[in-house]
Amino acid sequence: MVSDGYFKDGLGTVASILQGPDGAGRFVVLNVAPGSTVCQSAYRSKLRGIYGSVCAVEQVCEFHNVTRERVTIGCDGEKALWISTESDDLVGPSNSDFDLISAICNKIGALPVEVSTHWIKGHQDKFAIYDKPLDLWARLNIWCDALSKRHWVRVANSEDAIQWDIEGEMPSLWLGDGKVSKGVKETLYDWCEGEHLREY
């Protein structure tokens, strides 16, 4: 499973590809990163890609009644890959994008398969040595990058409602019409004593 995301103008999009080792059974998942433009970032798009990958694995396991296998999740966002799959004891409101991170950790914990990770050096097509072919991980990452950019073009002018809820996330904090997904302490302070209080 490989994913990559694209972020531009406050909108993050993602593509994930799930396939067997020989390319059999391949399918593609396209998503939009949840939340308002304020909480969007390239990092959040990477996390959304990992979350989409885990959800795809969950669905395949459920549909095919898989109870024992291994899956490897590949991503070019090393920090996103590490914090969401290797460090669930560190997840909390002090983390940026803790809603997505907690959802990924909870989903992985509930999977009936063993999950491992693989960091992929991003954009290898831009630095490729032409006499050395790129490996499968690199090629899938390049494909996900291109698909996430195409998906961004499709949804950039869409009137679709913002997705806020993320299945599996820790209890969320809502202020006004939006969910807080980073900077909880600063956001609460501002909400209680900053601009919102002055406007009141």
The CATH number assigned to the domain holding 102 equals: 3.30.420.10
Is the pLDDT score of 87 beyond 70? no
27-85 pLDDT, tens digit per residue, is 899 999 998 888 899 999 999 999 999 999 999 999 999 988 899 999 999 999 998 88
Is the pLDDT score of 170 beyond 90? no
Tally helices (H) and strands (E) across the chain: 6, 7
Question: What is the pLDDT confidence band of residue 200, given thresholds at 50, 70 and 90?
Answer: low
Residues 109-136, buried b or exposed e (16+ Cβ, 10 A)?
Answer: eeeeeebebeebebebeeeeeeeeeeee
- Higher-pLDDT residue of 70 and 196 is 70
Residues 39-70, buried b or exposed e (16+ Cβ, 10 A)?
Answer: bbbebbbbbbbbbbbbbbbbebbeeeeeeeee
What is the phi/psi pair of residue 20, to 5°? -75, 175
- pTM beyond 0.85: yes
Residue 149 pLDDT: 96
Neighbours of 169 (CB within 10 A): 22
Tokens 């599996």: give the residue. Answer: 168
Q: What is the dihedral of CA 181, 161, 167, 87, to 10 degrees?
A: -30
Residue 185 pLDDT: 82
Say if 177 falls within a structural domain: no
Say if 97 falls within a structural domain: yes
Residue 137 pLDDT: 93
- Higher-pLDDT residue of 189 and 136 is 136
Residue 182 pLDDT: 84
Number of domains into which the chain is organized: 1
125-167 pLDDT, tens digit per residue, is 887 666 678 899 999 999 999 999 999 999 998 878 778 889 9
90-116 pLDDT, tens digit per residue, is 677 778 899 999 999 999 999 999 999
Say if 22 falls within a structural domain: yes
Residue 155 pLDDT: 93
Quick check: 42 and 12 in contact, CB under 8 A?
yes
Say if 199 falls within a structural domain: no
Range of the domain at 33: 2-172
Say if 81 falls within a structural domain: yes
Say if 58 falls within a structural domain: yes
Say if 195 falls within a structural domain: no
**Coil/strand/helix, residue 123:** coil
Say if 109 falls within a structural domain: yes
Quick check: 75 and 4 in contact, CB under 8 A?
yes
Distance set, CA 34 to CA 52, 81, 102, 115, 150 (Å): 11, 18, 14, 24, 18
